[in-house]
Amino acid sequence: MIKTDTLIIGAGPTGLFTAHQLKLIGLDCEVVDNLDKIGGQCIELYPDKPIYDIPAVPECTGEELTNNLIKQLKPFNIKFHLGERVDEVKKDNDNWIVKTNNGKSFSTPNVIIAGGVGSFEPRKFSPKECEKFENKSLFYSVKDKKVFDGKTVTIFGGGDSALDWAVELSKIAKVNLVHRRDEFRGADATLNKVKELTSAGKINLLTKYQLVSVSGSNKIESIDIKSDDGGTKNLKTDYVLGFFGLIMQLGPIANWGLNIDKKTIEVDTEKFETNQKGIYAVGDICKYPGKLKLILSGFHEGALAARACFKLARPNEKYRFEFTTSSKTIKDRLGIKSD
Amino acid sequence: MPKITYITHDKKSHTVEVQNGLTVMEGAVQNDIPGIDADCGGGMACATCHVYVKEDWLNKLPIKEDGEEDMLDMAFEPKTNSRLSCQLTVSTELDGLIVDIPSKQT
């Protein structure tokens, strides 16, 4: 059981700046995120897209913003638990017991949900029977490519993941690459490689096709794909891989007893506390009159929630407001020598 | 004000007035029409405001910007008449537009 003053759920820009605010006022925190990297939507959805409305930053990309926030956290030693999803939040006297899907547990008086629109999960195939084969002969990511050795693998998708795996797996397996249109959005170099391998007969490329059904008893034996003009094709295949990017799902947050309306959590605007004492929500996931889904609003919300955490984490101390420009205590925390 | 008709997957038709300048996505969200998630809030970054446009309207719509087709790759059951409703800005020319909402967005 890990004990901390505050657990932050979500390592997007709001979660990161909230961590900074907590450390400035002398509280500990740990951060959990379901993605395997720091940055949330900024890094997953728009790493290269420019953002123009961060105060005092005329223009930066999602990736640059994330890197700068990480840099700002450098003076502090913050523990990130990546690739883990918080599944359970339960009350235990004055503390919350928080458990992740990997079996980690935390005990903390404060939980700050900075979860955006929920956790990122892979987008799945639409035919219902796909579920039955998931993680057996149908996958949305590759953990061990050796299982495909000598087999037939059908890959769906038109982005870098689909193209990269088509190239990689063509070395050890028979590969079908299926995409819904002729254009691909992956890197040009990889696309050229795919075309080369297709001409050489190493990859069987099928465009303007989508998956309609999967057949097999315990494992997949064949699949049907359908083209835009209505024609269908049956493909014998041992494995199916789908790379359609990630989607945000509210997931287990819905079960924690919070007031939720349209995937957002109701909070007050003084502490950004939910209907549960010691659980706060900040950033895109919180809702209050006048809420704007802007990164700058998340920063403000995190700063106030951090102050609210102080009361529960240090019940016998009084919080004193201080400026970073003048406070010796804060400068010590930042590791800056004051003269 | 232009009227936009949204047909939900249960075949129910919802016709609402949407102000010029708003998007077809915003028109659905503000009028509580079910089936448009719009997780990213209109940033063309999530493909959860996916609609099917009635064929005779396809040519009258604003041309797809770079990136919309890429996002549609990830949409649930995309077709040739698929669009992201956050990219369709309502104007007088779109008065009477009919869109079908898919059975789900993810």
Of all helices (H) and strands (E), which one includes residue A188? Answer: helix A188-199
In the numeric block, the tokens 């295949």 are attached to A237
Percent of chain B residues topping a pLDDT of 70: 100
Partners of A245 on chain B (C-beta within 8 Å) are 73-74
> What is the mean pLDDT of the segment spanning A160-170?
95
Average pLDDT over chain B reads 93
Whether the Cβ atoms of residue B86 and residue B44 lie closer than 8 Å to each other: yes
| One domain, residues A52 and A106 | yes
Percent of chain A residues topping a pLDDT of 70: 99
Work out how many domains chain B is built from and give that number. Answer: 1
Work out how many domains chain A is built from and give that number. Answer: 2
Chain A contact for B10 (CB, 8 A cutoff): no
| One domain, residues A191 and A287 | no
pLDDT at A90: 96
pLDDT at A44: 86
Alpha carbon separation from A98 to A4, A81, A107, B3 (Å, rounded): 11, 13, 6, 48
| One domain, residues A172 and A276 | no
- The amino acid that residue A256 corresponds to is W
pLDDT at A47: 87
For residue B55, is it within any domain? yes
Rounded Cα gap, residues A321 and A318, in angstroms = 10
With a CB cutoff of 8 Å and minimum separation 6, the contacts of A252 are A85, A86, A87, A88
Closest-CA residue of A relative to B104 is A126
pLDDT band at A319 (very low <50, low <70, confident <90, very high): very high
With a CB cutoff of 8 Å and minimum separation 6, the contacts of A315 are none
pLDDT at B31: 95
pLDDT at B106: 80
Chain A contact for B40 (CB, 8 A cutoff): yes
Contact assignment for B73 to A157 by CB distance below 8 Å: yes
| One domain, residues A160 and A96 | no
pLDDT at A338: 61
∠ CA B9-B12-B17, nearest 5°, is: 110
| One domain, residues A43 and A106 | yes
pLDDT at A121: 85
Rounded Cα gap, residues A203 and A227, in angstroms = 19
How many other C-beta atoms are found inside a 10 Å radius of the C-beta of residue A55? 7
Q: Higher confidence at residue B42 or residue B16?
A: B16
pLDDT at A327: 93
Is A74's pLDDT higher than 70?
A: yes
Contact assignment for A45 to B106 by CB distance below 8 Å: no
Contact assignment for A244 to B77 by CB distance below 8 Å: no
For residue A339, is it within any domain? no
Closest-CA residue of A relative to B41 is A293
Alpha carbon separation from A310 to A2, A17, A86, A196, B19 (Å, rounded): 19, 16, 23, 60, 46
Pairing of strands B98-100, B50-53: antiparallel
For residue B106, is it within any domain? no
Maximum pairwise Cα distance, chain A: 77
User: Any long-range contacts for A201-206 (C-beta under 8 Å, 24+ apart)?
Assistant: A202/A170, A202/A175, A203/A166, A203/A167, A203/A170, A203/A175, A203/A176, A203/A177, A204/A174, A204/A175, A204/A176, A204/A177, A205/A177, A206/A176, A206/A177, A206/A178, A206/A179, A206/A233
Is A48's pLDDT higher than 90?
A: no
| One domain, residues A221 and A268 | no
For residue B27, is it within any domain? yes
Report the CATH number at residue B74: 3.10.20.30
pLDDT tens-digit series, residues B21-72: 999 999 999 999 999 999 888 888 889 999 999 989 999 998 898 789 989 9
- Domain range spanning residue B84? 3-100
Average pLDDT over chain A reads 94
For residue A68, is it within any domain? yes
Nearest to A45 among B45, B70, B80 (CB): B45
> What is the mean pLDDT of the segment spanning A312-316?
96
pLDDT at A339: 62
For residue B105, is it within any domain? no
In eight-state DSSP terms, residue A202 is S
pLDDT tens-digit series, residues A200-259: 999 999 999 999 999 999 999 999 999 988 899 999 999 999 999 888 888 899 999 999
For residue A338, is it within any domain? no
Torsion sign across C-alpha atoms A117, A121, A124, A128: negative
pLDDT at A229: 84
Q: Which two tokens stand for residue A241?
A: 């891989």
| One domain, residues A237 and A298 | no
In eight-state DSSP terms, residue B64 is P
Contact assignment for A126 to B43 by CB distance below 8 Å: no
pLDDT band at A117 (very low <50, low <70, confident <90, very high): confident
For residue B93, is it within any domain? yes
With a CB cutoff of 8 Å and minimum separation 6, the contacts of A279 are A89, A96, A110, A111, A112, A113, A256, A258, A273
pLDDT band at A5 (very low <50, low <70, confident <90, very high): very high
> What is the mean pLDDT of the segment spanning B63-89?
91
pLDDT tens-digit series, residues A133-156: 999 999 998 988 999 999 999 999
With a CB cutoff of 8 Å and minimum separation 6, the contacts of A10 are A31, A32, A33, A40, A113, A114, A115, A116, A283, A285
Spacing of C-alpha A197 from chain mean position: 33
Report the CATH number at residue A37: 3.50.50.60
Angle between helices A13-24 and A62-72 (to 10 degrees): 20
- Domain range spanning residue A32? 2-121+247-333
- Model ipTM? 0.77
Is A313's pLDDT higher than 70?
A: yes
Partners of B32 on chain A (C-beta within 8 Å) are none
